[in-house]
Amino acid sequence: MKLLLHSCCGPCSCYPTQELTEKGVDFTLLYYNPNIHPYREFKHRLAALRELAEKKEYKLIIDKTYPLEECMQGMLSEPGIRCAFCYRMRMRYAAAYAAQHGYDAFSTTLLYSPYQKHELLKRTAEEAAREFGVTFFYQDWRPYYQAGVDISLELGLYRQPYCGCIFSERDRYMEVRKRGALMDKVGDTAGNAKADEEKFVRISKNIIQLQKQAVILYK
């Protein structure tokens, strides 16, 4: 199976990629996470994923598109369903990319984190799969959360202290102030052109960075 694995960050990718490698799955990581705020945090997480990919020699596709205004508008349009817009934006992008570039299926490392809204994420990915006519590869990696943490610590990867969006960043640090102490433990680890027309930059033998976003999928 040729699998496109959307990755939210380096730490959340550690266990899923190890398991897929052991099972002989031909996978490629995809970094597309414009929901991560602020931009400096976006870059930190990308750097950690690149570090993982380099150390393990995983294939990685990077889309650094950062439509801040569209993301904020989307998140604010659904205040009662926290995370719905972020999931839909990224799953539709991954599904569309997989369908357009010959992958058999797509999945996401968000399925690894016990801090995500797992059932909402699963339903959103299944809807994207039906929309773009590609298989969604579902795997519940949550039972192996600690194993993934151990791998990330062993590799010395940056571990983020909140899920990703500006609202989760606010909630995390407001909670810190409310308790009157800093949290020492890492919190949430988050936790859509044709291929021959696509322009990219090859960063190394196994990592490519897209020059432009192939499709706009805010819906």
pLDDT score of 195:
43
pLDDT tens string 155-202:
999 898 777 777 777 777 776 555 544 433 434 443 444 444 455 666
Q: Which pTM was predicted? A: 0.81
pLDDT at residue 26, as a whole number? 98
**Placement of tokens 């819906």 in the chain:** 219
What are the tens digits of pLDDT across the range 9-64? 999 999 999 999 999 999 999 999 998 888 999 999 999 999 999 999 999 999 99
- Neighbouring residues of 76: CB distance < 8 A, sequence distance ≥ 6: none
Of 171 and 1, the one with more pLDDT: 1
Cis previous bond, 143, omega within 30: no
pLDDT at residue 177, as a whole number = 54
- Cα dihedral 25/3/136/162 (nearest 10): 100
Tell me the domain boundaries of the chain. Answer: 2-210
Collect all residues with Cβ–Cβ distance below 8 Å to 40 and sequence separation of at least 6. none
CATH topology of domain 2-210: Rossmann fold (3.40.50)
Q: What local confidence, expressed as pLDDT, does residue 218 receive?
A: 41
Contacts 24+ apart (CB under 8 A), 22-25: 25/1
Q: How confident is the model at residue 217 (pLDDT cuts 50, 70, 90)?
A: very low
**CA atoms of 64 and 33, how far apart (whole Å):** 8
Q: Roughly what angle, to the nearest 10 degrees, separates helices 84-100 and 68-76?
A: 130
Between CA 62 and CA 71 the distance in angstroms is 18
For 148, residues 6+ apart whose C-beta sits below 8 A from its C-beta are 11, 12, 14, 15, 16, 112, 141
pLDDT confidence of residue 199: 57
- Each residue of 102-151: pLDDT tens digit? 999 999 999 999 999 999 999 999 999 999 999 999 999 999 999 999 99
Report residue 113 CA to chain centroid gap.
11
Does residue 206 carry a pLDDT above 50?
yes
Alpha-carbon distance of 28 to 156, in angstroms, equals 22
Give the pLDDT score at 78.
75
Which residue has tokens 């795997």? Answer: 139
Closest CA to 6 of 219, 149, 217: 217
Q: Are 45 and 14 in contact (CB under 8 A)?
A: no
- Structure confidence at residue 175 (pLDDT): 62
